[in-house]
């Protein structure tokens, strides 16, 4: 049995909420045995991957008429089962990174605070290569850099999807813009890309000045992946040097959501941020 993914855990938690006061036996009876108590238990605890027909039956049993909610849960189910482009890179991806890419592919929005680095979804190839090389802590990782850069660029397709482009709101610490990359023109090109992407209607970029007052973002960077109106499906991703983790508890996710609101209030406006990016880009010319 494969290890539970973030997607399966979020789906299982939502199914448990929808069941309400019904017992496992009640659900089995209402589904005429289509959903057994054992199967429901495995779905709710993320020990088994769900199938669309199982979720459809459960939503009928729970009398869920909200079309958006039904669509969101069925999407979580189908996306978890389908083969994504990233699976061809499994030799270089950790399970946690695969989870992130899979969630990004289905999320409606990403709100990210990055204290000292340009967000991955906005990076150029050369910036990504230099950054990854600088933080690689083993020769084994260094050998995977080319493939990891390919993955990073492929992830960015969610921003330009014709069907449902991801909404990205990025708050970036000014120090990230002032990094002195060793490659000629790397930061200039990176800031040019930021400036161009900031004009897209689905992308907001704010810069938090280096001389800002003490703020909640100084505790560390994070990204909040959102799934539309159903905020109980949201999840926070926190990346470290050698590992990453997900925050899934509702109260903790709310705390990060509130923290991001504080950061947007402390940062320069979108318009002023675009001017600051242009100014700093000239310093890298």
Is 1 a domain residue?
A: no
Mean pLDDT per segment of 10 residues, for the chain of length 285 residues?
A: 67 91 93 92 87 93 91 77 75 86 89 97 97 84 89 95 91 96 93 95 97 95 90 90 87 96 98 96 88
76 and 214 inside one domain: no
Helices 95-106, 6-19: crossing angle, 10 deg rounding: 60
Same domain? 166 vs 102: yes
Q: Are 51 and 110 contained in the same domain? A: no
Q: What's the CATH code of the domain at 31?
A: 1.10.260.40
DSSP letters spanning 163-201: S-PPEEEEEEEHHHHT---SSTTHHHHHHHHHHHHTTST
Contact predicate 15/27, CB 8 Å: no
Whole-number Å distance between alpha carbons of 268 and 99: 32
Q: Does 174 share its domain with 45? A: no
Task: Tally the domains of the chain.
Answer: 2
Same domain, 149 and 231: yes
CA distance 126 to 129: 5
CATH number of the domain enclosing 122: 3.30.870
Q: Is residue 87 part of a domain?
A: no
Whether residue 111 is found in the same domain as residue 216: yes
Residues 45 and 160 in one domain: no
| 176 and 60 housed in the same domain | no
| C-beta atoms surrounding 37 within 10 Å | 14
**Could you say which of 81, 106, 137 is where a domain stops?**
81
pLDDT at 2: 44
pLDDT score for 4: 54
Q: Residue 16: give the domain boundaries.
A: 6-81
**What values do phi and psi take at 119, rounded to 5?**
-55, 140
Q: What is the pTM assigned to this prediction?
A: 0.85
Same domain, 154 and 203: yes
Is there a domain that residue 14 lies in? yes
Please check whether residues 96 and 155 belong to one and the same domain.
yes
């Amino acid at each position: 049995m494969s290890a539970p993914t973030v997607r399966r855990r979020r789906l299982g938690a939502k199914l448990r909420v929808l069941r309400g006061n019904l017992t496992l036996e009640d659900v089995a009876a209402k589904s005429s045995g289509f959903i057994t108590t054992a199967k429901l238990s495995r779905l709710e605890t993320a020990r088994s991957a769900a199938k669309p027909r199982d979720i459809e039956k459960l939503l009928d049993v729970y009398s869920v008429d909200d079309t958006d909610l039904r669509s969101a849960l069925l999407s979580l189910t189908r996306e978890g089962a389908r083969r994504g482009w990233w699976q061809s890179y499994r030799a270089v991806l950790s399970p946690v990174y695969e989870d992130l890419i899979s969630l990004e592919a289905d999320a409606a929005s990403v709100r990210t605070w990055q204290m000292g680095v340009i967000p991955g979804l906005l990076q150029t190839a050369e910036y990504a290569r230099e950054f990854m090389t600088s933080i690689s802590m083993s020769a084994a990782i260094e050998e995977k850099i080319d493939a990891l850069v390919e993955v990073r660029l492929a992830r960015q397709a969610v921003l330009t999807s014709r069907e449902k482009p991801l909404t990205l709101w990025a708050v970036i610490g000014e120090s990230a813009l002032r990094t002195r990359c060793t490659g000629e023109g790397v930061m200039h090109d990176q800031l040019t890309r930021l400036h161009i992407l900031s004009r897209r209607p689905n992308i907001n970029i704010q810069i938090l000045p280096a001389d800002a007052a003490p703020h909640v973002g100084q505790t560390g960077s994070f990204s909040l992946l959102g799934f539309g109106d159903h905020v109980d499906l949201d999840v926070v991703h926190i990346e470290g040097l050698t590992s990453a983790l997900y925050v899934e508890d509702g109260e903790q996710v709310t705390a990060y959501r509130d923290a991001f609101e504080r950061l947007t209030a402390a940062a320069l406006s979108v318009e002023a941020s675009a001017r600051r990016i242009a100014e700093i880009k000239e310093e890298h010319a």
